Structures are given as structure tokens and as C-alpha cells.
Amino acid sequence: MPSHAPAPAGHPLSAEDDARHSVAVETMAVHAPVRLITIDLDDTVWPCAPVIQAAEDALLAWLAEQAPRLTERFDAAALREHRRALMAERPDIAHDVTQVRRLSLRALLAELDYDMALADAAMDLFQRHRNRVEPYTDVAPVLSRLRRRHRLVAVTNGNAEVHATPLRDTFHRALTAAEAGAAKPDPALFRLAMDWAGVSPAETLHVGDDPVRDVEAARRLGIAAVWVNRDSQSWPEHLPPPQLAVDDLHGLARWLETVPAHVPDPGRDHAL
């Protein structure tokens, strides 16, 4: 499949690269001003796996002190399997990863005759570590520029609390699957963001790393979508090619300079 990603910042485009880049921009034609940009979080603006691993390590260490019988029977993999089983049993809460973790811990603590209230303290500790994300270096400077011309709303299936991260002053709003009542690729998160901003799909742009949960889900609603492909992954063959692919947010910013923008109302220009 031909690549649609622009050349990295600072590298001149060859004739072939320039042709590919032109095709990407042409297929990404936007006629209405982009008033709202919805942006995925995990693996789009920061790496996800390292922070989850650190949070789970801290949680297990804490549980080993507070509920040693639990960690004697359940390692990280066993706890993960228990959560998966709970999600299958309770599809009504499967979109709320915090609730799933909390209820899973409460069930296991009760089974082993521990105070179920320990689950709340455990989740407080996990969440503090979950929020210790390290954004990619391109993210803060690019989003700081974009927020002057567009509404920026974080939309995530995860449970990072943007107001407690280094990007607390970057987004106008942050929404989670727990708030929307469903996880992407369900359209609920996108619709919640558009309702908040008072915009239509034609005035919205979505940015994310997942071909199905981000790009295809947005396109099904008539929302233009940009694929952030930081690790040079191959696009799934069963999906139509992305309208625009970038390897970091600088590529997004370069493209946005070519499309109409909406200057936000200064009275609503506040961060989280």
C-alpha cells in the first residue's frame, strides 16, 4: 500500500514524497472551518504501555503489603484475566476501565476476607501513577499553537485524568468513555464532544493512532480523521486508506495551516 505520511520535519520532500503528500492533502479536503479537533490520548499524545506497567507495578507492591493473600494467589496476569472475565460478565460497565478495576479488586478482596474498602485506596494509588504520563516532545508545543485557532477536546477510552498530567493547560475539555457511556469505536465520545462544542461533523477533525477506534470510527460519522503513525505501522488492508497520515503532530500542524480555521471565543478559552 502506498504511504500517505509526509516527510519528517526538517527533511526536504523528494518529487515522489511531494506527490504522495499532495495526494494525502487532496483527499483530505476540508471545506468548512475546523472548529473542533478531538484528540485521542494513549499512544497519540503519550506512550501508554510504560505508564500502565509502572502503575500496575506500584499497585501490586501496595497490595503485597495491604492484602498479601491476594498477591500470593494473583499476579498481574491473573488480575488481568479476572478483569477480562468481569467485562464479559458485565458488558454494561466494560467501557469504564476504572470501574472494572475497582469492582474486580473488591470481589477478590471480599473473596479473601479483606475489607473491600481497600479497593478504593488501591485505585487512588493506581490513578496517581496512571497520571504520570510523559507526552511526546512534539505534543505540547503543537497543541499550544492549535488551541488558539481550534477547540481541542481529548477523547479517550482510558482513564488518564488530563487535569493531573503535564497537558493540563492544553485541552479545552477532556472526555472519557466512562462519561460517554461507551468506548470508541462507538460514536458516543465523538457526539459528546461535538455537542459540547456545538459543531457538526463537517466542522470537526479527529486525530488518533488506532485505525479502527480512531480513524474509521470518526469517518463513519462524517468526521475527517488524521492517523498518527509514530511507529511506522502498516495500515490494515481491509480498511480504506487513511485520508492523511502523519508521524507526529508537527505533520498535523503543517496540514492545518492549509485549511480554514475558527478562532475560539476568548470568553470560553480556558484550560482544564
Quick one: 40 and 55 in the same domain? no
pLDDT of residue 262: 62
Q: Which residues, including other chains, have CB under 8 Å from residue 251's CB and lie 6 or more apart? A: 5, 6, 9
218-247: pLDDT as tens digits:
999 999 999 999 999 999 999 999 999 999
Q: What is the mean pLDDT of residues 204-226?
A: 98
22-31: pLDDT as tens digits:
334 334 556 6
DSSP 240: P
The number of folded domains in the chain is 2
pLDDT of residue 258: 86
**Among the three residues 76, 95, 130, which one is the final residue of a domain in this structure?**
130
Quick one: 181 and 261 in the same domain? yes
**Is it the case that residue 95 has pLDDT exceeding 80?**
yes
Which domain range does residue 251 map to?
A: 15-47+136-268
Quick one: 110 and 168 in the same domain? no
Burial 219-255 (b: 16+ CB within 10 A, else e): beeebbbbbbbeeeeebeeeeebbbbbbbbbbbbbeb
In a domain, residue 245? The reply is: yes
pLDDT of residue 32: 75
Quick one: 219 and 259 in the same domain? yes
pLDDT of residue 259: 80
CATH number of 157's domain: 3.40.50.1000
Q: How confident is the model at residue 264 (pLDDT cuts 50, 70, 90)?
A: low
In a domain, residue 3? The reply is: no
Looking at every residue in the chain, the average pLDDT score rounds to: 88
Q: What is the mean pLDDT of residues 95-100?
A: 97
144-173: pLDDT as tens digits:
999 999 999 999 999 999 999 999 999 999
Quick one: 150 and 242 in the same domain? yes
| 3-state class (DSSP) for residue 155 | strand
In whole angstroms, give the CA distance from residue 223 to residue 2: 23
In a domain, residue 2? The reply is: no
pLDDT of residue 10: 31
Quick one: 160 and 232 in the same domain? yes
In whole angstroms, give the CA distance from residue 150 to residue 156: 19
**Neighbour tally for 257: CB within 10 Å:** 9
What value, to the nearest 5°, has the Cα angle with vertex 205 and ends 203 and 206? 145
Distance of CA 172 to the CA centre of its chain: 15
Distance of CA 199 to the CA centre of its chain: 20
| 3-state class (DSSP) for residue 248 | coil
**Is it the case that residue 263 has pLDDT exceeding 90?**
no
In whole angstroms, give the CA distance from residue 68 to residue 80: 18
**Among the three residues 107, 130, 153, which one is the final residue of a domain in this structure?**
130
In whole angstroms, give the CA distance from residue 121 to residue 127: 10
pLDDT of residue 142: 98
pTM of the model: 0.85
Question: Can you list the alpha helix ranges (DSSP code H) found in the chain?
Answer: 15-27, 49-66, 68-73, 76-89, 97-111, 118-130, 139-146, 177-180, 188-197, 217-220, 249-256
pLDDT of residue 115: 97
In a domain, residue 8? The reply is: no
